Amino acid sequence: MLSSASVDPVFLRLDEKLTHLSGTDSECYIYKVHDRLRWQNEKSYEPEMMAIGPYHHGKENLQWMEEHKLQYLRLLLKRRNETSVDRYIVAMRDLQERALRCYANSVWLNKDEFVKMMLLDSCFLVELFRKFTITSMRDRNDPLFKIDWILPTLWRDSLLFENQLPFFVLVELFNMTKVLDPHDNITDLAIRYHHCVSQYASLGPVKILYAYNGISTCGVKHFLGLVHQITSFSLSKSVPLTSAVGDKIKKWEHIQCATELHEIGIKFKKSNCGTIFYNVKFKNEVLDIPTLVIHEKIECLFRNGIAYEQHHLEEDIGLKYTTDYFTFLCCLINSSQDVSLLCRYGILKNMLGGDEVVVSILNKISTCVVAPRDNFYYSQVFDDVSRYSKQCRNIWTTMLRRDYFNSPWTVISFLGAIMLLLLTLTQTVFSILAYFCNRGC
């Protein structure tokens, strides 16, 4: 036993740090983006208009929306004939410690500021979800629903990895302010808001299943987590789960790019089933792919979805469908020719200009992606495509069709040559028969 005089100071300091370490690491699920991802494109992780949660709270460029949050709280009190926020503050204080434990990184707000932030942010999101669906609750002069670009920007900010509030805070505020309306369900309202605004923002066909059995508010981490959870559920229903995340680890190989696949006879078809754009199928030599719109927000959405999946274990969040889908895109698109081909079939809609822009965006995002090695959602599609690609008969048939039968005139010329050959052969046979008949005579 060391005497107090001989105790190493390093030992004391380290021991003190170990004593003060929190044992609740598993409760953390709202992180800041790692510097490895942030330096590649910092703007993709920064809110443009709205701060939700403590990480971006107080930034100067977001102050206009802070005023609007106060306005939403005032209108809520007026609608409920209340004159004070006292009961809401009490509720937020009761949730404060639990909410703080959800943030993995340090929070600079003091306790009073944190409680105020929780109330304003939860009130704003709940009222935004409500007003979006229950139009009678909207204020006639509310700019959020009068200026076209605001809702898509708010939607974009609500899906940022760092810009989140624990969902149980929203549930608490929602339950305290329920209205007599059949649509007034927090999960339904949030998903409807995401579904409709994503289409309005030109994301493409995004059909979310509303019959999400087994998903309750208790298992939802935050708004981004809810969107991810519902989409994972939708995908697991559209494709048997064993093909995506079966019990056995399934190895898979990268497939060729779109132009190379097209050259060996694989056809591309725009999916008309109106499903989420992650649902890709390969059947009868056809890759069936829903349309993806390439717009100004696409890099931000991909980056934050990938960041969310990289910070959570697969058993906690289900399918890592954003990472898997992006891996599929990177295999399919290597050059502007691939983009042009997919645009021609309606699989891509490029709203950013030249085809090279799309390739550049994918190349930039790919630096933050680690290709999945197991439980890959598209492993069966990749296996089927690879198997088809390796069949020589398919390759030779396609080359023959591409090189010699690529237009109606070549087909006509080929048929004409066959007819000429048959006529020549017939004439030769008759000549030989006539010769032998003459000799016999």
**pLDDT score recorded for residue 307:** 92
Q: How many helices (H) and strands (E) does the chain have?
A: 19, 5
**Using one digit for the tens of pLDDT, what is the confidence trace for 260-312?**
999 888 999 998 765 566 888 999 889 999 989 898 889 999 999 999 998 88
Averaged pLDDT, 341-353: 92
Q: Is pLDDT above 70 for 71?
A: yes
SS3 label, residue 227: helix
Averaged pLDDT, 33-54: 92
Q: Is pLDDT above 90 for 15?
A: no
Tokens of 27: 């409760």
**pLDDT score recorded for residue 407:** 61
- Cα 374 from Cα 225, distance rounded (Å): 22
**Using one digit for the tens of pLDDT, what is the confidence trace for 354-392?**
899 999 999 988 887 876 667 788 888 999 998 888 875
Max mean pLDDT among 45-59, 183-197, 395-409 falls in 45-59
**Phi-psi category of residue 161: left, alpha or beta, with phi > 0 → left and psi -120 to 50 → alpha:** alpha
**Using one digit for the tens of pLDDT, what is the confidence trace for 49-62?**
999 999 999 999 99
Q: Is pLDDT above 70 for 72?
A: yes
Q: Is pLDDT above 60 for 14?
A: yes
Amino acid at 135: T
**pLDDT score recorded for residue 202:** 53
**Contact yes or no for 167/220 (Cβ under 8 A):** yes
Averaged pLDDT, 181-192: 85
Beta strands 286-289 and 281-283, pairing class: antiparallel
- Which residues make Cβ contacts (< 8 Å) with residue 377, sequence separation at least 6? 235, 239, 244, 245, 278, 319, 320, 321, 324, 325
Averaged pLDDT, 221-234: 88
104-126 as b/e: b if 16+ CB within 10 A = eeebeeeeeebbbbbbbbbbbbb
**Using one digit for the tens of pLDDT, what is the confidence trace for 159-178?**
999 999 999 999 999 999 99
Confidence of residue 210 (pLDDT cuts 50, 70, 90): very low
Radius of gyration of the chain (CA): 30
Taking residue 98's Cβ as centre, other Cβ atoms within 10 Å add up to 13
Whole-angstrom CA distances from 144 to 71, 132, 165 are 12, 10, 21
Of the two residues 2 and 345, the one the predictor is more confident about is 345
Lowest mean pLDDT among 10-19, 69-78, 299-308: 10-19
Taking residue 197's Cβ as centre, other Cβ atoms within 10 Å add up to 19
CA 227-193-214 angle, to 5 degrees, is: 40
**pLDDT score recorded for residue 264:** 87
Q: Is pLDDT above 60 for 244?
A: no
**pLDDT score recorded for residue 368:** 79
Confidence of residue 180 (pLDDT cuts 50, 70, 90): confident
Q: What is the chain's length?
A: 441
Q: Is pLDDT above 80 for 252?
A: no
**pLDDT score recorded for residue 246:** 46
- Which residues make Cβ contacts (< 8 Å) with residue 327, sequence separation at least 6? 369, 371, 372, 376, 378
Lowest mean pLDDT among 133-142, 152-161, 418-427: 418-427
What is the 8-class DSSP label of residue 161?
A: S
CA 308-24-306 angle, to 5 degrees, is: 5
Q: Is pLDDT above 60 for 214?
A: no
Task: Give 267's strand partners.
Answer: 286
**pLDDT score recorded for residue 394:** 59
Q: Is pLDDT above 50 for 211?
A: no
Confidence of residue 245 (pLDDT cuts 50, 70, 90): very low
